[in-house]
Structure 1
């Protein structure tokens, strides 16, 4: 895939769309600064707007209601934010809505997935600019009213081909609503009114999309992948992401509407395969060890050799899985983004179904309806994940659009639709039902703020859904529409959030607690005490809660939780289950991130605990590129096998998987340094230019190398004394190059800081340990621990 071309187009397209949509809004008398009213010459059927040009803007028929809806949406948002902010939010949403639809149609037309099998944005005729949609409008499976036929004829006669293209493009989008309703919503709303589309403009969206990005990038038959929509999404958000991180430098925190842009990071394809194969694939192979599927999963890691007791326990577990039905397997990505993990899980599930004798056609339907589940806080990501999963199903079943599909994917929404009146109408006095609905309403009251880290309490979801099905046709039309379009999806979302899963696989967002908005900060501090320091750690804890017994949790996260003291309690939780394997990636695992900003690890955990269980740990931190790390993994380099119980022998239980048996034994049997020595930070002058010198910069006769106590230092009447300041990495001995002005026990330093001579604290710490033998090391080390003897 040509990522450079994709990135260039996506970044440009966002600017272009927002600029053009904003211009069209201005023609309707709607700008960032306010709203214009129709001029006095307007009538009920025709509205005129004076926008400062020689010609008024004229709206007729449904265009009037569309503009009204547009104005109402901005005004609704402006009740909680500034009008200009509300205006920009709507411009952004309309832009990404059309961007998603354009990318989706381009993918479908290239692969022949459109119901008509014809081209909407391009032509089957090489070199032809005019889309086949425009050339042959009546060859499509469209139903035209007589009025529309006259309109088409008039546009053709007047050679208004862009207007004709726009009319037919909207017609195509409305038709696609029938097969992809969650992406192509009916276009009778204001987004249609704001559509800025031209195929004749060489610098327009259509021509740039068709000509700047080779269609082989979309064509599955020629190596293209549905994952391209995810890359479009990431690059589309790149400037928003830069803005968010620029704001962080100004102490502007990451609030709800900024989370998607700040945290979207496309997971490397090979890491996705590693997680899915070692979670979902392992789940299946446990019960079907003789399956030939193992040979096709390149990133699967075989179980480490175990003790006899562990082997017996694993054998018993596998026996219980031997009758597993693939239709019963449930996989969820609670941070699904554009659906990358779900798409590969689809492929692995297809392998499993086919090994059981299912056809590709029937398996594709089962996978969509029964196996895959997904959640995301971002509506646009949800749309692309939904599209990606359905397109993957289409690749296996050409009649998938005729099937009765019920994808279990959700853009997380709040429960504010559950008003008191509506709840009373639904429950009709049934106390138990009302309590269950009230529980959902409470749990999801701020769902768009906290997303899938919310733990939804189990209730009788079946009873609620039965009640909704029972009354939906009996309700007044207004309530019936609300129940069908809003309440039913909300209850389904709540059930997905409350359920347990065989596999939870995700790449969660990374947001440090210092960068969280105040509401999110308070929520995780209250509900996720063991993991509150970063959102990725919160998701580690939450995902562990979503896995059923014997199920699998697979994630890629920052590696901080493996080592830092602040995550010690989280490690204790994680090590109470079997850590099956880990790929320790370190820096540069994501090719889009430069330098050592993000250090990551990917791991697979089974929700059981077997004492003395041994995991496999792949150390890839030395790899300097994404491809280099993958090559190391496939070559089986730097693999360690250790029992996770060993980690508990080291204080704080860091995941020091590379430690030798001798080191673990030393910690287990030996005495810790902290029991026999004091660990302290020593003197910090805070003005090294004034108080420190290299030993060769001063008169050697004024240096005392032999003092072993403060009294001897005073008696020496010398000014300069040896000083340990860390320096570069060095083991055992050395880095003794500096001397410090410690004349009369540092009277100049004390005077400089305005502290009495008997003071013992920062910056003149640990006076009682001065002039004693010691083991020293640098405060910060980027590689290995280098301790040095200081006489």
Structure 2
């Protein structure tokens, strides 16, 4: 590699390195402390620290190329890094690979180039390969996009546009109309009680059961929302959690567990599964139990509950969520940013259709033996 770089080094400052990939939770005590002190705004992973460090080594207008996990483009942990990239540098090009973009590996990778310094109004080139599964398609489709920008997966975007979206995700493929709608709606966070609070048992083998396992004598076991498979409107009521005084004492006082704030106990609301297969799915949750991180709940929606549930299960909402975070983990912070239009609130038509969908989904759920309201198979 040195021989290839020497000609460039005669005229330019050249730095080539293999960026480290290590999340904060895997760092030892010394490394974790050093990263927090040296790179407090980008401490989530060593690769993000490397991006900032590499930028600091270059002169004004330095050209930088990176290949990193593309999580920095979307999730809340890297919002300050995105601001750094957008406000102090210029994204000149970016290719977002498909999950299986490399043979033998399934990893979320992007490759991109930056110019140090802000070039106002510059529209970088972006190629989105997420719609082409398999490593064998990535290079040919990228070359096709470069040869024909009208192909449908090549985009031009001024990075300042991203600042119009909450959290500034690098959502280069989104229309300006969709981006502008964030300024017209009311954030879900402003009309709900949705803090991301959760119950953590720290010992599911001891404190968690399928609902048919315990006798529930003395109301010790209560329903527990814990995500589950793809299902909208109603269902996935399979678990119960130990809610005895002894168990709650453990959740509250054990160092690795957490007792859900009492204000969220037995609240009617909307729940969902935080791990998705690409499509989000929201469900009505009766006021009968509590929830954990895998099945968080949006509470205190009042008369707007059914209209909001309808919006959350709409194709429009799916576009918003994919804009905010296209990964397989649907984070609380992303759902809280969703914009809602006042026109949908307290609509008799929307409420009626939503309640009808809930009833249909409930009847379907009760036709399976895993439902606690199962009576008989409808085919019998």
TM above 0.5, one fold?
A: yes
- Are 1:604 and 2:116 counterparts? no
Alignment-derived partner of residue 585 in structure 1: 97
- Residue correspondence of structure 1 range 642-681 to structure 2 within 5 A: 642-679=157-194, 680-681=196-197
Alignment-derived partner of residue 247 in structure 2: 753
Alignment-derived partner of residue 210 in structure 2: 693
Q: Which protein has the bigger strand share?
A: 2
Alignment-derived partner of residue 263 in structure 2: 768
Deviation string 1:226-254 (CA, Å, 9 cap, x unpaired) is xxxxxxxxxxxxxxxxxxxxxxxxxxxxx
Alignment-derived partner of residue 47 in structure 2: 536
Q: Structure 1 CA distance, aligned partners of 2:86 and 2:56? A: 14
Count of residue pairs brought into register by the alignment: 274
Counterpart of 1:634 in 2: which secondary structure?
helix
- Residue correspondence of structure 1 range 472-483 to structure 2 within 5 A: none
Q: Structure 2 CA distance, aligned partners of 1:649 and 1:509? A: 31
Post-superposition offset of 1:543: 2.1
Post-superposition offset of 1:523: 4.5
Q: Structure 1 CA distance, aligned partners of 2:33 and 2:250? A: 42
- Residue correspondence of structure 1 range 295-444 to structure 2 within 5 A: 338=1, 343=4, 367=7, 370-371=10-11, 373-374=13-14
Q: Structure 2 CA distance, aligned partners of 1:631 and 1:373? A: 32
Indicate how the Cα distance of structure 1 residues 518 and 763 shifts in structure 2: closer, same or farther if over 3 A, else same.
closer
Indicate how the Cα distance of structure 1 residues 790 and 664 shifts in structure 2: closer, same or farther if over 3 A, else same.
farther
Post-superposition offset of 1:782: 5.4
Maintained 8 Å contact 1:724/1:735: no
Among 545, 555, 560, the alignment partner of 2:66 is 555
Post-superposition offset of 1:727: 0.7
Q: Structure 2 CA distance, aligned partners of 1:583 and 1:718? A: 55
Greater RCO (Cα-Cα under 8 Å, separation 6 or more): 2
Maintained 8 Å contact 2:200/2:251: no
Indicate how the Cα distance of structure 1 residues 601 and 755 shifts in structure 2: closer, same or farther if over 3 A, else same.
same
Indicate how the Cα distance of structure 1 residues 756 and 534 shifts in structure 2: closer, same or farther if over 3 A, else same.
closer
Q: Structure 2 CA distance, aligned partners of 1:647 and 1:369? A: 35
- Residue correspondence of structure 1 range 494-533 to structure 2 within 5 A: 507-513=18-24, 523-533=34-44
Among 614, 617, 625, the alignment partner of 2:126 is 617
Indicate how the Cα distance of structure 1 residues 726 and 610 shifts in structure 2: closer, same or farther if over 3 A, else same.
same
- Are 1:733 and 2:250 counterparts? no
Q: Structure 1 CA distance, aligned partners of 2:124 and 2:22? A: 29
Q: Structure 2 CA distance, aligned partners of 1:605 and 1:648? A: 18
Q: Structure 1 CA distance, aligned partners of 2:45 and 2:109? A: 13
Maintained 8 Å contact 2:252/2:259: no
Alignment-derived partner of residue 312 in structure 2: none
Q: Structure 2 CA distance, aligned partners of 1:514 and 1:736? A: 31
Deviation string 1:507-532 (CA, Å, 9 cap, x unpaired) is 52334455557766555443332233
Q: Structure 1 CA distance, aligned partners of 2:32 and 2:250? A: 41
Instruction: Report the TM-score, using the length of structure 2 for normalisation.
Output: 0.58
Indicate how the Cα distance of structure 1 residues 653 and 595 shifts in structure 2: closer, same or farther if over 3 A, else same.
same
Alignment-derived partner of residue 338 in structure 2: none
- Residue correspondence of structure 1 range 57-456 to structure 2 within 5 A: 338=1, 343=4, 367=7, 370-371=10-11, 373-374=13-14
- Are 1:571 and 2:71 counterparts? no
Q: Which protein has the bigger helix share?
A: 1
In structure 2, the gaps of 5 or more residues are 146-151, 287-380
Indicate how the Cα distance of structure 1 residues 698 and 528 shifts in structure 2: closer, same or farther if over 3 A, else same.
closer
Which of the two has higher C-alpha Rg?
Answer: 1
Indicate how the Cα distance of structure 1 residues 523 and 724 shifts in structure 2: closer, same or farther if over 3 A, else same.
closer
Counterpart of 1:781 in 2: which secondary structure?
coil
Indicate how the Cα distance of structure 1 residues 554 and 752 shifts in structure 2: closer, same or farther if over 3 A, else same.
same
Indicate how the Cα distance of structure 1 residues 578 and 509 shifts in structure 2: closer, same or farther if over 3 A, else same.
same
Counterpart of 2:249 in 1: which secondary structure?
coil
Among 273, 277, 301, the alignment partner of 1:778 is 273
Post-superposition offset of 1:604: 1.6
Indicate how the Cα distance of structure 1 residues 654 and 520 shifts in structure 2: closer, same or farther if over 3 A, else same.
same
Q: Structure 2 CA distance, aligned partners of 1:657 and 1:734? A: 34
Maintained 8 Å contact 1:691/1:749: no
Alignment-derived partner of residue 317 in structure 2: none
Deviation string 1:4-56 (CA, Å, 9 cap, x unpaired) is xxxxxxxxxxxxxxxxxxxxxxxxxxxxxxxxxxxxxxxxxxxxxxxxxxxxx
Indicate how the Cα distance of structure 1 residues 604 and 677 shifts in structure 2: closer, same or farther if over 3 A, else same.
same
Post-superposition offset of 1:368: 5.6
Maintained 8 Å contact 2:96/2:130: yes
Counterpart of 1:655 in 2: which secondary structure?
coil
Maintained 8 Å contact 2:72/2:81: yes
Indicate how the Cα distance of structure 1 residues 724 and 526 shifts in structure 2: closer, same or farther if over 3 A, else same.
closer
Post-superposition offset of 1:666: 2.6
